Amino acid sequence: MVDDDPSIVAVITDILSAEGHEVVSAENGQEALAKVNGEALVLLDMRMPVLDGWGFASRFRASGKRSPIIVMTAAENARRWAEEIGADGYLAKPFEIDALIAAVERHATRPH
């Protein structure tokens, strides 16, 4: 989960952990690139300091990683941004937790 807002990271970590998922968080794209290690799914905020969602996605794909990406953004054009980076889905903030859980369960691949 890559997001620069610590509260959002905390609450999503709590929610997904309660669902039995393991969550690794990073506060920007650069930190995320350093941490990724075959995760089943990437929840990606778009506007972040240092390295934003677009930068992360292109480098992530360029390095041959195939994990699905779900864009999470408070911007109005969440869908367009998701298409721009070739994401597998998007969640427009604020979202219902059912939508979050459903998206994660639909897109997460088996850990590899």
Partner 1 sequence: MTALELVSRLTELIYVLIFLLVVWTAVRRRTRTSVDIALFFGAIAAFIVESRIVTTLGLQQVELVNDVVTILVIAMPYLLLRLVDDFSTVPLIASRLAEAGLIFAAIGFLATTGQPPTPIVVVIVVYFAALALYCAVKFIRAARLSSGVTRRRLESVAAGTLLLGLTIFVAGLSPLLPWAAGLLDGLVQVLALGSAVAYVVGFAPPPILRRAWQEPELRAFLSHAASLPRLPDTASIVRALQDGAGSTLGARATIGLYDREANKLRFQDSHGVLPNEIGPSDYLVWRAFEAQHPRYYPDAARAHPALAESYREHGVRSLLIAPISAAAERLGALEAYTDHEPVFSEDDLDLVRLLADQAAVILESRSLIDEAARVRALEEAARLKEDFISAAAHDLKTPLTTLVAQAQFLERRAVNEPAAPADLTGIRRIVLEARRLSALVVELLDASRLEQGKLVGEREPVDLVELARDVARRESYQGRRITVSADVPVVGSYDPRRIGQVIENLVENAVKYSPDESEVRVAIAERDGQVLIDVTDQGIGIPAGDLPRIFERFHRAANVDDRRFAGMGLGLFICKGIVEQHGGRIWVESRVGAGSTFHVVLPLGAPSETPTPGGPA
Helix (H) / strand (E) containing 44: strand 42-45
Q: Should residue 102 be labelled a site residue for partner 1 when binding is judged by CB under 8 A? A: no
- Please give the structure tokens belonging to residue 24: 């690794």
Q: Is 75 in the site for partner 1 (CB under 8 A)?
A: yes
When asked if residue 24 is in the footprint of partner 1 (CB under 8 A), the reply is no
Decide if residue 111 touches partner 1 (CB under 8 A): no
Count residues binding partner 1 (CB under 8 A). 25
Residues at the site binding partner 1, with contacts judged by CB under 8 A: 4-8, 10-12, 14-15, 18, 27, 47-49, 74-76, 93-98, 100
